[in-house]
Amino acid sequence: MHTRSKAAFEVLLAAVVLGLLGNGLLRQTPWGLNVLLFNLAFAGALFVLLRRHAADRLTTQTYALLGAMVFFASMFVWRDSIELRFADTFAIVTILGVLFLPTLKVTARIAGVIHYAAGVVWAGFNAAFSAVPLLGTDISWNATLKAGWSRHLVAAVRGLLVAAPLVLIFGGLFMAADAMYEGWVKASFNVNLDEFISHLLLFTFFAWTTAGYFRGIVFLGTEKIVEDASPIPSRDEAPTAESRVEKVRAESGEQAVTLPESRTIVEHLNAPDVPEGASPIHEVSRSKEEKKAWNWATLDNTIVPGFTLGSVEVGVILGLVNAVFLSFVVFQVQYLFGGMDVVQSTPDFKLAEYARRGFGELVAVSAIVLPMLLAGHWLLKKEDRFAGTLFKVLAGVQIALLFVVMASAMQRLVLLTGNLGYGLTTVRLYPMIFMSWLAIVFILFAVTVLRGARQHFAWAALWSAFLVLGATHVLNPDAFIAKTNIALMQQGREFDDYYNAQLSDDAIPALLDSLEFLSADQKQTVAFELADRYCRIAEESDWRSLNISRRNASNALRNNRETIEALALCDSERICCGSKKFGLE
């Protein structure tokens, strides 16, 4: 079996195994341990394939990314928050895209943000379509099916095809002859068609996309293996200087040119100048080199001629944007430094309108500034040094003003969720975490891009996102929200019992601890939701859905069974667990 065909066959086998695992593990919801096990198998298969067929791609960055992928998959076993699960999934998809960058001849550590986005898109495209060339051209089926154990596999399949009609004939006759035997056969081979189709579709999806992804990451961007070719040409086959000249001349379409007798062929090829009227061999070679000079890894603004920015454009654009930011900051200073006293003393000032209206918009402003500055820096004219200096100054001012805007947004959140506010929710907490990460990213922007080290920015920003997301898991957002709202309730603020009871299982221990502080109606609402939650957890007892938060919540609910059962007041109007009272029997 040829080397490329063998590698492709190994990719196909790995995809089939992962397809079976994906169908067997990930069909069970909610996800938990199954996500970790599948990602471990995926990372292990990818490591083995790269080590066998593309060992140069097993760099420190590759190991770090594979480790991060397994880490975020393990978070499905730890936390139950739907927002964290979404963020973990996004992180894993991003890692799969960044792992694909070597196929574009781009080093992940010094790639740009646009490279990361392109890597995700390119990885998705290969996952969707690359299985076609893998099955159609990469595998030499004739050679594969005649080699080693494959020969025996083909023989076994051939035997099954011959035996199948015989088994059906004899089996049908035996079933007609004995009713007991017929019943046993029907019970043994009773297949639910809908369930069978769902298994087939899931297996096909995971196997197909895995085959396409592995095929791309192993084969793309590497030298194509020439089948049955000697790696070192023989002496007779070694190209001579004359043959190289003839080859270049043939490619350029030129007729034979007589070389000066005073020069050897090698001297002629190495000569710096070409006499007028001579063969344009050097021009052809130089043009080829110029065409090869551009590549995806060194993508710059030469691909958009006429759209680069000089000092005038930079001054106008960033100057006006900074003016707008400055005008907003001037109005915000009094609130930032005056505190709640200024807010409360302002006539016709509505706290809720101020906080709710401003927070989301300011988060959006903070998110838009980063791509604007990155795009502006990329479009700078390389030959205009003053434009670069001006950009650094104005971008620095922009970032300083932006931090004031961020401080204003954070203050609005404090007002909205503080002693005089309305409590904490997921739509308030997660944007705050996102903006905290943006603050880190802007600091990284200043110390990399503005200091002439743009190539290190995206890698640093990516890992800062991973660190912030990991810290968010440690924070346990849903439990933090519930504890914050309970503390505010004890200070006299209103407690939204229904919303807090709807938080994920991460918040259940905190809610159980708060029952004694709730009113009778609030206790009943929370207890009823907790009773219903216990039934759902009990139905999700499959080992593939193992999750630490859900297990701890189940144990806490079981330990507080009598209290919850009494408070829930499950009756004909409010039925717990469908038709059972609390369902703890």
Q: What is the pLDDT of residues 297-319, one digit of tens each?
A: 677 777 777 778 899 999 999 99
When pLDDT is averaged across residues 489-512 and rounded to a whole number, the result is 91
pLDDT > 90: percent of the chain: 42
**Rounded Cα gap, residues 46 and 437, in angstroms:** 31
| pLDDT value at 259 more than 50 | no
The residue-averaged pLDDT of 176-202 equals: 80
Which of 104-113, 136-145, 367-376, 406-415 bottoms out in mean pLDDT, i.e. has the lowest? 136-145
Phi, psi of 225 (to 5 degrees): -75, 125
Is the pLDDT score of 36 beyond 80? yes
In this model, does residue 42 exceed pLDDT 60?
A: yes
Give the torsion sign (CA, 77, 81, 86, 92).
negative
Residue 506 confidence (pLDDT): 95
Average pLDDT over residues 202-219: 95
pLDDT band at residue 265 using 50, 70 and 90 as cut-offs = very low
More confident residue, 336 or 443: 443
Q: Per-residue pLDDT for 466 more than 70?
A: yes
Q: What pLDDT score does 165 carry? A: 79
Q: Please state the rounded mean pLDDT for residues 111-136.
A: 93
The yes-or-no verdict on residue 563 having pLDDT over 80 is: yes
Average pLDDT score over residue span 428-439? 91
Q: Say what the pLDDT of residue 232 is.
A: 41
Place of tokens 């005056």: 338
Average pLDDT over residues 463-474: 97
DSSP three-state, residue 309: strand
Looking at the predicted structure, is the pLDDT value of residue 572 above 50? no
Provide mean pLDDT across the span 368-387: 90
Cis peptide before 165 (omega within 30 of 0): no
**pTM, rounded to two decimals:** 0.80
Residues 54 and 7: beta-carbon distance below 8 Å: no
Question: What pLDDT does 356 receive?
Answer: 60
Residue 510 pLDDT > 60:
yes
Contact 531, 582 (CB under 8 A): yes
Mean pLDDT, residues 452-474: 95
CA distances (Å), origin 221, targets 61, 104, 216 = 18, 6, 9
Model pLDDT, residue 140: 78
- pLDDT confidence tier of residue 84, bands split at 50, 70 and 90: very high
Question: What is the band of 74 on the pLDDT scale with cuts at 50, 70, 90?
Answer: very high
Which pLDDT value is given to residue 187?
A: 76
CA proximity to 432, closest of 445, 419, 413, 418: 413
Q: How far apart are CA 127 and CA 135, in angstroms?
A: 13
Residues 6+ apart with CB under 8 A from 454: 112, 377, 448
Burial classification of residue 147, based on how many CB atoms lie within 10 Å of its CB (0-12 exposed, 13-18 middle, 19 or more buried): middle
The reported pLDDT for the residue numbered 260 is 47
Query: Is 335 within 8 Å of 408 (Cβ atoms)?
Result: yes
pLDDT category of residue 284 using cuts at 50, 70 and 90: very low
Helix pair 477-490, 457-475: axis angle to 10 deg: 50
Name beta bridge partners: 205.
none
Would you say residue 58 has pLDDT above 60?
A: yes
Give residue 130's pLDDT band: very low, low, confident or very high (50, 70, 90). Answer: very high
Average pLDDT, the chain: 80
Question: pLDDT at position 339, please?
Answer: 54
DSSP 8-state code for residue 225: P
Residue 457, amino acid: F
Q: What is the model's pLDDT at position 47?
A: 97
Percent of the chain with pLDDT over 70: 75
Q: Higher-confidence residue: 146 or 46?
A: 46
Q: What are phi and psi of 396, to 5 degrees?
A: -60, -40
Per-residue tokens: 94: 């991003």
Among 70, 71, 63, 59, which Cα is nearest to 102's? 59
Q: Which of 23-32, 170-179, 252-261, 487-496 is the least confident region?
A: 252-261
